[in-house]
Structure 1
Amino acid sequence: MTKSKTHKKKGAAAIVTASVLALIALFGMTACSNAAQPDAGTGGSTALPEASFVEGGASLILSPDKLDIKVKVRTADGTHVTVEGCDETTLTSGTETVLHAKGRLVILKGNIKELDFYKTQLTALNVQGLTDLRKLDCWGNQLTELNVQGCTALQELNCGKNQLTELNVQGLTTLQNLFCPFNQLTVLNVQDLTALKYLVCHGNRLNADAFTKLFNDLPQQANSNRANCVLYIEKPGFTDDNHIDFTAPPDLAAAFNNAKTKKRWVMFKLSVDNNEKPHWIML
């Protein structure tokens, strides 16, 4: 891209949030091993435990080879969070803490509004019991299962760089920021996300039909607002399995153009150079 063209697009690219910048920085880091491990507590059985619903709390399933995890929580009223399944029995709001789990299942209970499980190798997570949860960051784990249904107060969800094949965000009408890159999603249903303003979904397996529906379901923005969406990535040594040609087929092209011109969504591709420097390019 020429210098002049880069300058013209600089203003538009600047509106991409700092959260997106963080995603790119994280992408350059080495991923943790995703190899399946037998559960030490089941006599070598490979059966995976489930992250069940917990009233007023969250359930976590840990990787069997990483039972010490960093967790940061923030509660709505500053109270402690109760911990089950670890040597520690409480978490202090606003403080990052290392938990030493006794097994693969950990339960957190409290008036939690923010949860951060960055690169802790979780394999499953259920936060359905946290009805006041506003922000969830579970980037860089080994999640094959993520349950956020019922979290109607959720405003930001960052579940990028996991192993999710599906993501149910239906009913999350307050969700504004959805970051789900580098998973294995073949469908992304945003139909109910009426507050959505930032969507990052590169590095998945979204085909032309999936993108057609996604564009048709994106919420209309007010005349004074615009929203941002990162659709795919170009990076040396990495092939994005998302569809990348939005001029065909005709239904996709029409949905893409309608989302840009009438719904006021700004579409980007992400280009990362050999020096790991990201460039957001409008489509």
Structure 2
Amino acid sequence: MKKFLMVLFLAGLLPAAIAAAESEASFSGSGRAILGISPDTKEITVIALTADDSAIQVEGCTVTELPSGEVTKLTATGNTIILKGAITELDCSDNRLTSLDVQGLSALDKLYCYNNRLTSLDMHGLTALRELSCSFNQLVSLNVQDSAGLEKLFCAENQLTAFDMRGLTVLQELNCSDNRLTSLDAHDSTFLRFLLCKSNQLTSLNVQGLTALVYLNCRSNRLTSLNVQGLTSLRALSCSENRLTALNIQETPALQKLSCYGNQLKVKALIRIFNSLRGTDLKKENAGEVLVQSEMDNSHEGNITDFSSSAELKTAFEAAKAKNWIFYKRDTNGNDKKI
């Protein structure tokens, strides 16, 4: 069983012994996390796990030890609480933390620090990290380049203006919604299955080559174009409330749910969409669904709403319904009703 490194205050300790102890600490992944405590919240709740279930040492608190894997309330005696040990998982969410330093936790596999007051989060050296949830903070930047093994990343509801996804080649789930991003390039993340980037300021979104992508939500952005060609696994696409004048879904054979209201899709664009909807594999009990228009004021509907305004459009609409697609519009109360 690995042991936490004990700082020895023995007179005459040889430098070689110190070096050996430091080497052992590095090998075991031992390190520390420093939690900045809000003046109005001295009591926090944390969960921390170690690889061997050994206890975590605590400083700046009324207790000196934290059991591995147990939900524990800690009462701070000052402005910081320090956790020491070979921590592999840490959950310090919902604590109003003002800062968090986890650079020393080289063995950290999962970090949950959502719903705090963090303005920065330094991820350097966290090479073992696979899951990060830091949503609902005040982060203005986030650098995860050292964490190339990330599989799940949730950083929604922050103040991010840019996010670099290069090198995140094994990422499977990303939620970066409700930030201030103007562009997002996800093409390196070829294992990505779920991408939520709604309610940003995106004018550019690159999802090319993401053949594993099942769900894409880029609603409420500023996109004038969206290329989803070749997304052969895509089942659900929400691109409503953008500035799209066209949408090519011909190479999305798995698509079953489409939300595209609040754009600038006119007659020719809708004809192309309706004609591209596939019905071959759609069983009656699993009909396809299209939310194509909205009557709500904040949706700024620019799509054509009268499908009988063109004979060709009416024919394409009826043909799509015959292929077992159900069309909806959102009324002024936010309820979806069949067209």
Correspondence 1:264 to 2:331: no
Bigger-Rg structure (1/2): 2
- Looking at structure 2, the residues matched to 228 and 222 of structure 1 have their Cα atoms a distance apart, in angstroms, of 11
- Looking at structure 2, the residues matched to 265 and 128 of structure 1 have their Cα atoms a distance apart, in angstroms, of 30
Q: Pairwise mapping of residues 170-181 of structure 1 onto structure 2 (< 5 A)?
A: 170-181=229-240
- Looking at structure 2, the residues matched to 222 and 116 of structure 1 have their Cα atoms a distance apart, in angstroms, of 29
Change (3 A) 1:232 1:93: same
Which of 188, 213, 234 is the aligned partner of 2:247?
188
- Looking at structure 1, the residues matched to 246 and 182 of structure 2 have their Cα atoms a distance apart, in angstroms, of 21
| Match of residue 221 from structure 2 | 162
Which of 256, 268, 274 is the aligned partner of 1:215?
274
Please report how far the alpha carbon of residue 223 of structure 1 lies from its aligned counterpart in structure 2 after TM superposition.
Answer: 3.2
Please report how far the alpha carbon of residue 219 of structure 1 lies from its aligned counterpart in structure 2 after TM superposition.
Answer: 1.5
**Deviations 1:208-250 (Å, cap 9, x if unpaired)?**
1100010001111433330100010002465411000011201
Higher relative contact order (CA 8 A, sep 6+): 1
Please report how far the alpha carbon of residue 100 of structure 1 lies from its aligned counterpart in structure 2 after TM superposition.
Answer: 4.8
Letter in 1 for 2:179: T
Number of residues of Structure 1 aligned to a counterpart in Structure 2: 198
Residue 107 of structure 1 aligns to a residue whose secondary structure is: coil
Residue 164 of structure 2 aligns to a residue whose secondary structure is: strand
The percentage of aligned residue pairs carrying the same residue is: 36
Letter in 1 for 2:213: L
Which of 119, 122, 128 is the aligned partner of 1:87?
122
- Looking at structure 1, the residues matched to 249 and 299 of structure 2 have their Cα atoms a distance apart, in angstroms, of 26
Kept in 1, the 8 Å contact 2:200–2:220? The answer is: yes
Q: Pairwise mapping of residues 44-63 of structure 1 onto structure 2 (< 5 A)?
A: none
Kept in 2, the 8 Å contact 1:118–1:140? The answer is: yes
What TM-score do you get using the length of structure 1 for normalisation?
0.64
| Match of residue 23 from structure 1 | none
Which of 107, 122, 126 is the aligned partner of 2:164?
107
| Match of residue 79 from structure 2 | none
Letter in 2 for 1:135: F
- Looking at structure 1, the residues matched to 265 and 295 of structure 2 have their Cα atoms a distance apart, in angstroms, of 15
- Looking at structure 2, the residues matched to 100 and 123 of structure 1 have their Cα atoms a distance apart, in angstroms, of 13
Residue 272 of structure 1 aligns to a residue whose secondary structure is: coil
Structure 2: gaps of 5 or more residues: 1-107, 112-119, 144-160
Please report how far the alpha carbon of residue 79 of structure 1 lies from its aligned counterpart in structure 2 after TM superposition.
Answer: 5.5
Residue 173 of structure 2 aligns to a residue whose secondary structure is: strand
Kept in 1, the 8 Å contact 2:215–2:236? The answer is: yes
Q: Pairwise mapping of residues 1-283 of structure 1 onto structure 2 (< 5 A)?
A: 87-89=122-124, 90=126, 93=131, 95-96=133-134, 99-101=139-141, 106-108=163-165, 109-110=167-168, 111-220=170-279, 221-224=281-284, 225-236=286-297, 239-261=300-322, 263-273=323-333, 278-283=334-339
Please report how far the alpha carbon of residue 192 of structure 1 lies from its aligned counterpart in structure 2 after TM superposition.
Answer: 0.7
Change (3 A) 1:236 1:86: closer
What TM-score do you get using the length of structure 2 for normalisation?
0.54
Letter in 1 for 2:313: L
Kept in 2, the 8 Å contact 1:185–1:205? The answer is: yes
**Deviations 1:90-120 (Å, cap 9, x if unpaired)?**
4651523555538965434432100001111
Q: CA RMSD in A?
A: 2.5
Change (3 A) 1:107 1:269: same
